[in-house]
Amino acid sequence: MNKWIVGAAAMAALWTGAANAQDVKIGVSGPFTGGSASMGVSMRDGVKLAVDEINKAGGVLGGKKIVLIERDDEAKNELGVQIAQELINKEQVSATVGFINTGVSLASQRFYQEAEIPVINNVSTGTLIAKQFLPPDHKANYIFRTSANDAIQSGMIAQEAITRQGFKKPAILADSTNYGQLGREDLTKALAAMDVKPVAVEKFNIGDTDMTAQVLKAKEAGADVILTYAIGPELAQIANAMAKLGWKVPMIGSWTLSMATFIDTAGANGDGAMMPQVFIQLPTTPKRKAFIEAYQAAYKVDRMPSPVSAAQGYDSIYLLAAAINQAKSAEGKKIREALENLQTKVEGIVTTYDKPFSATDHEAITANIPVFGLVKGGRVVPAHPEDLEGDTALRIKPKS
């Protein structure tokens, strides 16, 4: 009988490998190849920037280095699951940051929940994500988020289109993925709350090149504004199809309208599109200025491919580092407790995080933080410049 135990232990030791006790391992899971890679890579680059800074400044827990374990989930659910298991059981990470795609988040994070290892979703926006394991059904929720969820974004979109700009007949165009369809649902709900019913709801597949049918339908329904939930290339196709049909109404949509693939490929047709942004590549605070310069220097680009992803990735690491230091431990459970009761203020790119999480609220971003960005001449600029002037430049989550 003892032989079994010895054998099993030996096997386990062989497979898991001896972790370097000096390091704190943090997993990074995101798509670094394929259609959403620009967001994944920006997020990873932001994360790396933060880790380099922290390690140069002496690391965490009084001298331990943060080591990143990067894994490409290819935006595939099953690969996300496999990576989650690998990071938890083989690499034995203290925490994981990442996830671009809502589907991958939903599929993978329950493994972290089971293993009591905290996850910070720093890009994916599905509203359900941070609510999957709420107490009291679960002992504690290990899923956190530093991005603006779809409920916030769709609320803002509806607000902007209906209340602020006075449109009456919105049409919704969303892609058929998890992201687009969940967003469409939130958007319909937000409009319903204002007693507005979209005049057309159309969808399309990733890779579709001809949007004539969808745009025609919106046009025929008499839409005066197009609300979108999709990603870059297809958004550009919508803008181009509108131009082709000689029909121009404003486009207002989720934050993905700021993707370089939309701005570059839609060209002049994309000008005027508006979207909620937690971060616009502008040096409106000293911290943002430093971040933009560091990013440009490290990755040799002028315009960041996805500034929002990079900023949220960067911030997620600083939040985690603060929590690890406060917990004085790299143990998942303690990190989670520290995150839920963070004593130090963390000055991030998006905002200054002052007790961003509590036991029941795992969303660091609230509806007051994002502002509307506007595509203009190939860049995203603030749609309402007054939003980012003076005191309002840094928007902070209100105390509950």
Partner 1 sequence: MDILAQLVVSGITVGMIYAVIAFGYQLTFATSETLNFGQGEALMVGALVGLTTINFLIGLNLGTLSAYLLMLPVIMAFGLLQGSIVEFLGVRKAIAIKSEAGWIMATIAIGIIIKNLAENIWGRDALKFPSPLAEASLQIGPVRIQPMEIAIVVGALLLMLAVELFNRRSIYGKAVVATANDRDAAGLMGINTKSVITFSYALSSMAAAFAGVLVAPITLTGASMGAVLGLKAFAVAIIGGLSSGIGLIVGGLILGITENLTGYYISSGYKDVPGLVLLLLVLSLKPSGLFGKATIKKV
Partner 2 sequence: MKKLFAILGLALLVLLPFFITSPYYLHLLITIAIFSIVVLGLDIVFGYTGEVSIGHSALFGIGAYTAGTLLFQFGIGFWPSLIAGPLVAAMFGALLALPALQVTGPYLAMVTLAFGTIVQILINEMDWLTNGPLGIKLNTPNFFDWRDYSSFLPFFDMSAKRMKEMQYYYVVAFFLIATIVVINRILASHLGRAFEALRDSPIASDCMGVSVYKHKVIAFVTSAAFAGLAGVLFAYSEQYIAPNNFAFDLSIQFLLAVTMGGRKSRLGPILGAAIVVFLPNLLADINLFRIIAALIAAVAVVAGIFVAIKQPENRRSIIVPVALCLAFFVFSLFLQKITDYKLTVFGLMILFVVYYLPDGIVGFLKQIVTQINPALVKGHAVIDAKGDDAHAWTKVAPATLTADGSLLDGRGILMQFGGLKALDTVDLKIKPGTIHGLIGPNGSGKSTMMNVLTGIYVPTGGEVTFDGRAMAGLKSPEIAARGIARTFQNVQLFDELTLIENVLVGLHHTYHATFFDVAASLPRARREEQAARIRAASILSFVGLDKLANEEARNLPYGKMRLLEIGRALALDPKLLLLDEPAAGLTAPDIKDLVGIIRKIRDHGITVILIEHHMDVVMSICDTVTVLDFGHKIAEGKPAEVQANPRVIEAYLGGSAVAA
Residues that bind partner 1 (CB under 8 A): 33-35, 37-38, 41, 176, 202-205, 207-210, 212-214, 216-217, 220, 232-233, 236-237, 240, 243-246, 260-261, 264-265, 267, 305
Among 98, 103, 170, 356, binds partner 2 (CB under 8 A): 103
Alpha helices in the chain (DSSP H): 2-16, 37-56, 77-85, 102-115, 150-158, 178-193, 212-220, 232-244, 260-266, 286-299, 307-327, 332-340
Task: Select the binding partner of residue 353 from partner 2, partner 1, none (C-beta < 5 to 8 A, by kind).
Answer: none
- 182 binds partner 2, rule: CB under 8 A: yes
- Judged by CB under 8 A, which stretch of 87-95, 224-232, 314-322, 388-396 contacts partner 2? 87-95
If the CB atoms of residues 203 and 355 are measured against partner 1, the closer one turns out to be 203
| 4 interface partner picked from partner 1, partner 2, none, CB below 5 to 8 A per type | partner 2
Q: Return the sign of the alpha-carbon dihedral for residues 208, 212, 217, 221.
A: positive
Name the minimum Å distance from CB 101 to partner 2.
Answer: 9
How many positions of this chain bind partner 2 (CB under 8 A)? 40
Q: Which does 233 bind (CB under 5 to 8 A by kind): partner 1, partner 2, none?
A: partner 1
Residue 7 or 207 having the CB closest to partner 1: 207
Please give the structure tokens belonging to residue 131: 């609510």
Q: Of the candidates 17, 20, 78, 344, which one interacts with partner 2 according to CB under 8 A?
A: 78
Q: Tell me whether residue 162 or residue 171 sits nearer to partner 1 (CB atom).
A: 171
State which residue, 219 or 397, has the beta carbon closest to partner 1: 219
Q: In angstroms, rounded to a whole number, what is the distance separating the alpha carbons of residues 333 and 284?
A: 36
Whether 66 and 24 have beta carbons less than 8 Å apart is answered as: yes
Residue 17 near partner 2 by CB under 8 A:
no
> What, of partner 1, partner 2, none, does residue 76 touch, CB below 5 to 8 Å by kind?
partner 2
Candidate residues 22, 33, 358, 392; the one interacting with partner 2 per rule CB under 8 A? 33
Listed residue (273, 261, 364) closest to 311, CA to CA: 364
Residue 373 φ/ψ, nearest 5 degrees: -100, 160
Parallel, antiparallel or unpaired: strands 95-98 and 65-72: unpaired
Positions 349 through 378 that interact with partner 2 (CB under 8 A): none
Sign of the alpha-carbon dihedral angle for 349, 258, 298, 315: positive
- Count other C-beta atoms under 10 Å from residue 58's C-beta: 10
Pseudo-torsion of CA 28, 149, 337, 142, nearest 10°? -60
**If binding is defined by CB under 8 A, does position 140 make contact with partner 2?**
no
What is the bridge-based pairing of β-strands 251-253 and 352-353?
Answer: unpaired
SS3 350: coil
Interface with partner 2, residue 71, by CB under 8 A: yes
Is 204 or 279 the residue whose CB approaches partner 1 more closely?
A: 204
Peptide linkage before 170 cis (omega within 30 of 0): no
Q: DSSP code of 194?
A: T
Residue whose C-alpha is closest to residue 100's, from 39, 38, 157, 44 = 39
Q: Does 72 bind partner 2 (CB under 8 A)?
A: yes
**Minimum distance from CB of 369 to partner 1 (Å)?**
27
Q: Interface residues with partner 2 (CB under 8 A)?
A: 1, 4-5, 7-9, 11-12, 15-16, 32-33, 70-72, 75-79, 81-83, 85-86, 88-90, 103, 106-107, 110, 114, 176-178, 180-182, 205
